Chains A and B, each alone.
Chain A
Amino acid sequence: MSSQTNRTYKGENLTGWLFIGPSLLGFIVLVFIPVLFSLYLSFNDWNFLEGFGAIKFSGITNFTKMLKDEWFTNSFFNNIFFTVVTIPITTAVSLFLANLIHRYIYASTVVRVMVFIPYIASIVAVCAVWQVLFQPSYGPINYILRTIGIANPPQWLADFKWALPSIMIIYIWQQIGYFIAVYNAGLKGVSHELYEAARIDGAGEVRQFFTITIPMVSPTTFFLVTMGIIGSFKVFDHISVLTQGGPGSSSSVMAFYIYRTAFENFRMGYASALAWALFVLVFIVTLVQWKSQSKFVNYD
């Protein structure tokens, strides 16, 4: 967007629209119209099976109904719980490991590739594996727990208290490799001289980690945390494959409840309202993060 933009050629307008045309058409049909339509639907009642004629204006009922809907409130708080636990753990563990891998070991590529594999593996297949590992009565995990003396290990995915934490374990396991890869890119940008200087000043390895590494990769941390939070708000596949939100609604999250409302119960109006509630949540978090960015992030 320099001053050169003023220079125009004959037919430049038409050419421009031709270039963006195909993607713009896709954008209008697949993003722009759907956003408006979804906003409209969120103020209406609509059972999809009864056709377009059944769309009925209902004001803000969808939104007020939400607050009394136990599935919604549970899904909402499960989302928050999910994010508050998985993102800090994944970030802290990944930064610690990425730093070790980057600075202190041989064969760093091998380690990075190995921990990255769970991230690239498809969620459905990975979930099938964990479902067997978590099998309460004869699965390997509970077998190991029993052998080390835990008489009543959790029922994992079938357990009211443990269903969501089980999914969080799988989620963290998958995300760590990705976080490490992105941190590695960030760590490459930290100059050796900084560490050398700190060493000459007598700073130990721990001190160096806290006074050099953490501040220097703060832009990467900011990026990972922001994207990680948004991603974790949208977690769907694991829940859909493993628990269907159960037992009860104990492991339901917003994306799953939206899916169930729309495509199992066909209540399109209410589902749209739920989706906008998810949007508001994502929006607020992003806003807060951008506002707080200057406090935590060091761009020098």
Chain B
Amino acid sequence: MNTLTKKLDFGKLSLTILLLLFSSTMVMPLIWMISTSFKIEAEVFEFPLRLIPRQLNVIQNYAEVWGEKARFGMYYLNSIKVTVLTTFFQVFLSALGAYGFSKVHFKGRDKVFLLYLATMMIPDQVTIVPRFVILQRVGLYNTHLGLIVMGSLSVYGVFLLRQNMIAIPESLSESARIDGANHWRIFTQIILPIVKPGLATLAILKFVWTWNDYQSPLVFLNKVELFTIQLGMRQFASEAGMYFSLVMAAAVSAIIPLIIVFIAGQRWIIEGIAAGAVKG
């Protein structure tokens, strides 16, 4: 028995090394990205490939990206504003709606919810033209407010939180009602604290998607001053396309904050994403 476990452990160890090699290959493009962003342009395509630059050019590269011309600072502020507000509004609206659909018994509730569900399968591409036209008509095209409004509703968010709330026993809110609490109190003081994990999941998912969203800003914005980091990244790549070290410095700037947040809270994020699963 003893030799058997030892043998197995050896197998386990070699498999571990094999999979660590595999996962390093998976992140290699990103490591190469970071390394290239530190290099001088002439060294970018030098072979054999080296990950540690011979000559460091970090400050110059990043100063260029964050400076007057490329304006990554501005894109960042735009992205932070849009992402934080969209996430906040979506979680809030979804929680309100989910409560209404799960804990308040009113006429027509289930019919309206069915209508919500029926539209879940319709791809964004179907509604994007009308939404663009509506934004144009109400004067919110080319505004952050318009972009935030567009991202604030998600049928998926309502659905996810409703699933959470429906699992809470009815007796809990019933007894609060008998004690004289109104719906608003039950919502804020009983239900919301219980579904905190669900709220966190939705907030994380929404934050990542909005930060990385490319299509909505592309359709709803065309003023450079309003660009989010994704549009800014594309803008910069088309302007500085020949300077690969600079493009990589821009890519690092766009990717790294989210990766740092991700590594810090990876357990939560992976579990949240695996549990929340679908995109909507």
Question: Which A residues have a C-beta under 8 Å from some C-beta of B?
Answer: 1-2, 4-9, 12-20, 22-24, 26-27, 29-35, 37-38, 41, 48, 97, 100-101, 104-107, 109-118, 120-126, 128-133, 135, 138-140, 143, 173, 176-178, 181-182, 184-185, 223, 227, 230-231, 233-234, 236-237, 240-241, 254-255, 258-259, 262-263, 268, 271-272, 274-276, 278-279, 282-283, 286
4 new A-B contacts, CB < 8 A, other than A38-B130, A279-B126, are: A16-B109, A106-B16, A259-B125, A268-B129
The answer, yes or no, to whether B42 is at the interface (CB within 8 Å) is no
Docked complex Cα distance between A123 and B30 (Å): 12
Chain B at the A interface: mostly helix, strand, loop or mixed? helix
Q: Across the interface, do B104 and A15 meet the contact criterion of CB distance under 8 Å?
A: yes
Closest 3 CB pairs of A and B: A16-B106, A19-B100, A26-B153
The answer, yes or no, to whether B59 is at the interface (CB within 8 Å) is no
Q: Across the interface, do A279 and B183 meet the contact criterion of CB distance under 8 Å?
A: no
Q: Give A2's nearest chain B residue, CB to CB.
A: B170
Q: Which residues of B contact A118 (CB under 8 A)?
A: 26-27, 29-30
The answer, yes or no, to whether B20 is at the interface (CB within 8 Å) is yes
Pull 10 A–B residue pairs with CB atoms less than 8 Å apart, ordered by A.
Answer: A16-B109, A20-B101, A23-B96, A114-B23, A121-B255, A125-B233, A139-B45, A140-B32, A258-B128, A263-B219
Chain A at the B interface: mostly helix, strand, loop or mixed? helix
Q: Across the interface, do A121 and B259 meet the contact criterion of CB distance under 8 Å?
A: yes
Q: Which residues of B contact A116 (CB under 8 A)?
A: 262, 266, 270
Q: Which residues of B contact A262 (CB under 8 A)?
A: 128-129, 132
The answer, yes or no, to whether B86 is at the interface (CB within 8 Å) is no
Q: Which residues of B contact A121 (CB under 8 A)?
A: 30, 255, 258-259
Q: Which residues of chain B in 257-280 are interfacial with respect to chain A, using CB atoms and an 8 Å cutoff?
A: 258-259, 262-263, 266-267, 269-271, 273-275, 277-279
Binary flags per residue of B87-101, CB closer than 8 Å to A gives 1, else 0:
000000110110111
Docked complex Cα distance between A223 and B277 (Å): 9
With beta carbons under 8 angstroms apart, the residue of B97, B129, B279 that contacts A23 is B97
Q: Across the interface, do B129 and A35 meet the contact criterion of CB distance under 8 Å?
A: no
A/B pair count, beta carbons within 8 Å: 281
Docked complex Cα distance between A233 and B279 (Å): 13
Docked complex Cα distance between A23 and B152 (Å): 9
Q: Which residues of B contact A26 (CB under 8 A)?
A: 93, 149, 152-153
Q: Across the interface, do B255 and A126 meet the contact criterion of CB distance under 8 Å?
A: yes
Docked complex Cα distance between A1 and B259 (Å): 42
Q: Give B279's nearest chain A residue, CB to CB.
A: A231
Q: Across the interface, do A111 and B19 meet the contact criterion of CB distance under 8 Å?
A: yes
With beta carbons under 8 angstroms apart, the residue of B45, B97, B122, B134 that contacts A24 is B97
Q: Across the interface, do A263 and B132 meet the contact criterion of CB distance under 8 Å?
A: yes
The answer, yes or no, to whether B251 is at the interface (CB within 8 Å) is yes
Q: Which residues of A contact B29 (CB under 8 A)?
A: 118, 126, 129-130, 133, 173
With A7-B105, A24-B112, A223-B277 in contact, is A105–B219 under 8 Å at CB? no
Shortest distance from the beta carbon of A95 to any chain B beta carbon, whole Å: 14
Q: Across the interface, do B13 and A124 meet the contact criterion of CB distance under 8 Å?
A: no
Q: Across the interface, do A20 and B97 meet the contact criterion of CB distance under 8 Å?
A: yes
With beta carbons under 8 angstroms apart, the residue of A18, A115, A234 that contacts B124 is A234
Shortest distance from the beta carbon of A285 to any chain B beta carbon, whole Å: 10
With beta carbons under 8 angstroms apart, the residue of B155, B233, B255 that contacts A31 is B155
Docked complex Cα distance between A182 and B251 (Å): 27
Q: Across the interface, do A115 and B23 meet the contact criterion of CB distance under 8 Å?
A: yes
Q: Give B153's nearest chain A residue, CB to CB.
A: A26
Q: Which residues of A contact B230 (CB under 8 A)?
A: 122-125
With A181-B273, A185-B275 in contact, is A129–B251 under 8 Å at CB? yes
Q: Which residues of B contact A263 (CB under 8 A)?
A: 132, 219
Q: Give B46's nearest chain A residue, CB to CB.
A: A138
Q: Across the interface, do A4 and B100 meet the contact criterion of CB distance under 8 Å?
A: no
Shortest distance from the beta carbon of A36 to any chain B beta carbon, whole Å: 8
Q: Which residues of B contact A17 (CB under 8 A)?
A: 100, 106
Shortest distance from the beta carbon of B191 to any chain A beta carbon, whole Å: 11
Shortest distance from the beta carbon of A274 to any chain B beta carbon, whole Å: 8
Shortest distance from the beta carbon of A171 to any chain B beta carbon, whole Å: 13
Docked complex Cα distance between A286 and B278 (Å): 14
Q: Across the interface, do B274 and A132 meet the contact criterion of CB distance under 8 Å?
A: no
Shortest distance from the beta carbon of B162 to any chain A beta carbon, whole Å: 10
Q: Which residues of B contact A131 (CB under 8 A)?
A: 237
Q: Across the interface, do B127 and A22 meet the contact criterion of CB distance under 8 Å?
A: no
Q: Across the interface, do A20 and B126 meet the contact criterion of CB distance under 8 Å?
A: no
Docked complex Cα distance between A104 and B13 (Å): 9
Shortest distance from the beta carbon of B183 to any chain A beta carbon, whole Å: 5
Q: Which residues of A contact B49 (CB under 8 A)?
A: 140, 143
